[in-house]
Every structure is written in structure tokens, then in C-alpha cells.
Amino acid sequence: MKHADGSFALHPKPSPERMPFIDALKAVGSQLIVLHHLAFYGPMSDWTHQLAPGLVGWFSQNARMAVQIFLVVAGFLAARSLAPGGRLRTERPLAMLWQRFARVSLPLMAALLLAMVCTEIARYWMTHDSLPAPPTLWQFVAHALLIHSLLGVDSLSAGVWYVAIDVQLFALLLGLLWLGRRFGFAAPMLVAAVVLASLFHFNRDSGWDNWAVYFFGAYGLGALAYWLSRADAGRSASAWLAGMALLTALSLALDWRTRIALALGVALALAWAHRSGWLFTWPRSRLLSYLGRISYGVFLLNFPVALVVNAWFTRYASPDAWVQTLGVGVAWLACNLAGAAFHHGVEQRLGRLGRAAPAR
């Protein structure tokens, strides 16, 4: 993904293309999601649970909170792209929204087609409750339009809900920025108000978890972290950051949510990295950088690929805990290789179709 411009004096030789700190966060987050799916779905993890029940239980129940990393990072990058100075810079917000929709939905549709093929291969080799039911045309259309969760349509693959929420969140942030410019408000203050509404109300009610307002607390923290950590944010920026952290802590005192505490930690880490310049310079790891680049492909394909590996080991491998645990390792490697192949062969090519130059 190419990031928007935004060089600051505090950044030694900033790169306009990559941010190693964010790549590292995305790399770690994507691997945790893969391991969560491997622990939660498929029969192989039942065997591995016999060898390491605590580890498998943690990945099954807690590793999914890595989604908060992606929410905060997405908000940070959206603020940087749409309104680096706190004011919406495009004259065509609907075109920007369409661009976002196309860039995430086109690879998603390709991934869903592959997922349906993988599911049928897995169904041929095993019977298990983690296998989705045979798809219908309406299911695919609802997924392609990113409205399947809103309509209660069964998911064709694990984690697809996040793609729909990502577009909703982008649209909500874009709308708040447009309102700020249209009526002369300070758009970051509007964003902060919706963040507080999410943290103190909507995020405490799981009935809202198909809507952007449920997740905007984490997403908006990322956007605020960007604006308050700019080199030209002024001397009061640190006080505003402290206020953001305090209000988030108050919401946690009212209703503790570990996922929100994690989101706050990631937002503060991003703000610190931005201010210190480490956002563009650390860590110097080609592996983490590469895993960050392919994270969307890995995210889209890990579940169906893991199903196929689960099915093959269930059908042909020995029913032994160590052998089946080896299968978990094979599945983890296969998910990353498939994600890399998808990134280079499909995602990058389809992404160009939705990458029109935004009006400024």
C-alpha cells in the first residue's frame, strides 16, 4: 500500500512509501490472527490442545484481540491520508469512499472465490462443524457489497466481517471530516466526540457490533494519535494526548474492556513513534516489513487454506497429537505462502483498479 505524503522535521530521512513501525504492527497482528484461527477452527487444534492446553486456549480466546491493532493503525493512516492537518483535503469525498471500497472489496471477492473452492476440497476430505455451508449466489453478492453482517447473512470465511467494518469506519471518518469543513467546525473535535460516544456507550453494547460506531473508539484513537503527534501540533499536543488517555481510562473504569486498553496502548505507541521519528526508521527488519505488506492477503486467505490442511491431515495423517501438531505448523506456513502469492498475483493488480489519484 502506498501511503500519502507527510514529511516532518523530526523524522530523519522519512520514507514516503513504507513505515517500518506500522509494518511491524501489521505483521505481528496478522500472525496472531492466523494463529487464532488455527487454534479456534479445525480438528488439528484439538490434538494440539492435548500437548499445550494453555497455549492453544490463549490463541483461541485472546489472540483475536489483535484486530484492535488493525483498527488503530487504519484510523492513523486514514487521518494521514484524508486530513493530515485536521482538515479534509479532497473535494471529492464520495470518490475517495469509492476508491476505498474498490481497493478492499475487489481482492475480497477474489479471495472469496478461492475460499469457496478450498471449502469444497476440505469438505471432500473431512466433515467438521468449522466448514461453512455450501454458498448461495445471494451470499456472495451480500459479501461483495460488504453488507452480509448487516443483513445477518452467514459468513463465507472467517474474518470477513472486518473488511466490511473497515469501509464503514472509513466512511464515518470521511463524513465527520466533511461536516467539519462544510460547517466550519474543528473536525478532530468531532472525531473526538464520536470516539467518546463509542467508548462510553456503543462499544459497551454488543448489539452494535455490526456497525462502525461500535469500533470507532479504537479507530478514532488512531486518527487522534496521528493529529496530536504531528511535528506542528503545538506544545499543547502532549496535554491533549494525556487527556485522550485519561478519558479512555475513565471509560475503562466504568466498564473494563481489554480490547480497548490494547487499542489505547497501540495508539499511544503510534503517537510516540511518530513524534520520535521511529515510525519511519524502526525496526529495520526485512521480514517484518514483508509480512506487513502481505498482511491483507494473509488475512483473507488464512482460513480457507487452513481448512484444506486440516482436512488433508484428518484424512491421511496419523491420529497422533504430535503428527497433527506438525499439521498446525504446516498450515501456518501454507497460510503465509498463500497470502504472499495472493498479494503479488491478485491483490496488487486488483488494487490498481481502485487507485485513482484523489483530488486535493
Amino acid at 94: L
Cα gap 8→196, rounded to integer Å: 29
Q: pTM (2 decimals)?
A: 0.91
Residue with cell 471477492: 109
What integer pLDDT is reported at residue 212 of this predicted model?
97
Best CA proximity match to 273, nearest among 235, 241, 243: 241
DSSP 8-state class, residue 317: S
* Full pLDDT tens readout for the chain, 360 residues: 334 333 333 333 334 468 999 999 999 999 999 999 999 999 999 999 999 999 999 999 999 999 999 999 999 999 999 999 999 998 899 999 999 999 999 999 999 999 999 999 999 999 998 899 888 999 999 999 999 999 999 999 998 999 999 999 999 999 999 999 999 888 999 999 999 999 999 999 999 999 999 999 999 999 999 999 997 877 788 899 999 999 999 999 999 999 999 999 999 999 999 999 999 999 999 999 999 999 999 999 999 999 999 999 999 999 999 999 999 999 999 999 999 999 999 999 887 775 644 444
What integer pLDDT is reported at residue 360 of this predicted model?
41
Query: b/e map of 325-360 (b: 16 or more CB within 10 Å)?
Result: bbbbebbbebbbebbbebbeebbeebbeebeeebee
Cα gap 25→23, rounded to integer Å: 5
Cα gap 103→125, rounded to integer Å: 34
Cα gap 100→104, rounded to integer Å: 6
